[in-house]
Amino acid sequence: MKESEIITDLLLTEKKMSTNYNLFASECTNVQLRDTFVNLLTQGHKTQTQLFETAKQKGWYKVEQAQPQMVAQAEQKFTNQAPTMEARG
């Protein structure tokens, strides 16, 4: 297996694990266990960032820079969709 394939596999695995940790944390009723899943989720995101940066630096992951206006629009869109305490009831 080439190094690029290994990095890609690790990145995909971390993404899947983050999805699982997020699901487990959101459905967990035990606070200590939930906090453990949240910590694992946070660490998984850090690992994903490191893997992504490695792949990007080696030219295995091409990224096109978004225009600042598009970034601002996306941020506004998702900020408006964020649930508020009032909406949760």
Q: How many Å apart are CA 43 and CA 55, to the nearest integer?
A: 18
**Which pLDDT value is given to residue 80?**
83
pTM score, two decimals?
0.71
Mean pLDDT of 29-54: 96
Q: How many CB atoms lie within 10 A of CB 72?
A: 11
Strand, helix or coil at 62?
Answer: coil
Task: State the alpha helices, DSSP H only, in the chain.
Answer: 3-27, 31-57, 68-81, 85-88
User: What integer best gives the mean pLDDT of the chain?
Assistant: 90
CA dihedral 24, 29, 31, 35 (to 10 degrees): 10
